[in-house]
Amino acid sequence: MLHSEQHHSDYAQRFLLVVAPKEEEAFWMFAQILTKYEISSFFREGMPLLQLHLSLHAKLLDAHFPKLKAHLENHEVLHFLVLSYVSPTNAEQQ
C-alpha cells in the first residue's frame, strides 16, 4: 500500500480494533475483508470505489426519492448522510 492508502485504511483498522481488541486479529480480519469483498479501492488514493458508490447513491436517491433529495439540498444536507436510512428497496415499501 502507498502511504496515503495506509492513512485511509487506518480508519477501518481502528473500527476493527473495537470489534477484535487484539491488534493482530483486527489486522487479519481487515486483510480478509479487503480480499474477500474486493474493496481495496475504497482505500486507494482518491478513494475511487467510495466515489463510485456515492455517485450511484446520488443517482438512486434522485430516481427513487426526488422529493427527499430536493429537501436535503434545500437544507444543505449531504445526501450520503442518509445512506443507512434510505435505499431503493425501501421505496417499494412506501
Cα 91 from Cα 3, distance rounded (Å): 41
Would the pTM count as exceeding 0.85? no
Residue 75 inside a domain? The answer is yes
The more confident residue out of 59 and 94 is: 59
Q: DSSP assignment, residue 22? A: S
DSSP 3-state of 83 = coil
Q: Are residues 37 and 55 in the same domain?
A: no
Domain count, the chain: 2
Boundaries of domain holding 73: 50-86
User: pLDDT tens, 27-86?
Assistant: 888 888 888 888 878 778 888 888 888 899 889 888 988 998 899 889 888 877 776 655
What does the pLDDT read at residue 44? Answer: 81
Residue 92 inside a domain? The answer is no
Residue 59 inside a domain? The answer is yes
Cα 10 from Cα 76, distance rounded (Å): 29
Q: Are residues 30 and 7 in the same domain?
A: yes
